[in-house]
Structure 1
């Protein structure tokens, strides 16, 4: 199965209280197959870096590749 990794923006009441307390009215989150993974980011750049990390991690577990290799 191919996983889809996206960055989504949340605005207004969707922004976590910690970021709202800092005056942020928007934040970005990483979605893997439509589900939020990790924390909310104050910048899109941070969220894009996290998205790239998720893509790299998921690429290691593509069908046909084994997460664990047995040594002989």
Structure 2
């Protein structure tokens, strides 16, 4: 099964209260097969780094014969 890892943006009331309290009206989250994983990030770059970590972990879990 192919696993899909994406970065999505959340705006307004979708932003966690802790970030809204800091004046942040937008955040980014990592989705694994459409489901949110982990925390909300205050920058897209942080979310992209998390996405890369997920992809590296998923690739490490695949046997070398299937790469």
Q: Compute the TM-score of the two structures, normalised by the length of structure 1.
A: 0.85
Show structure 1 runs of 5+ residues with no match.
Answer: 67-72
Q: Which has the larger radius of gyration?
A: 1
Superposition CA RMSD, Å: 1.2
Cα deviations by residue, 1:10-64 (Å, 9 ceiling, x for unpaired): 00000000000000000000001001010000000000000000000011122xx
Q: Post-superposition, which runs of at least 4 consecutive aligned residues in structure 1 deviate over 2 A?
A: none
Higher percent of residues as helix: 2
Under a length normalisation based on structure 2, what TM-score does the superposition of the two structures give? 0.91
Number of aligned residue pairs: give it.
64
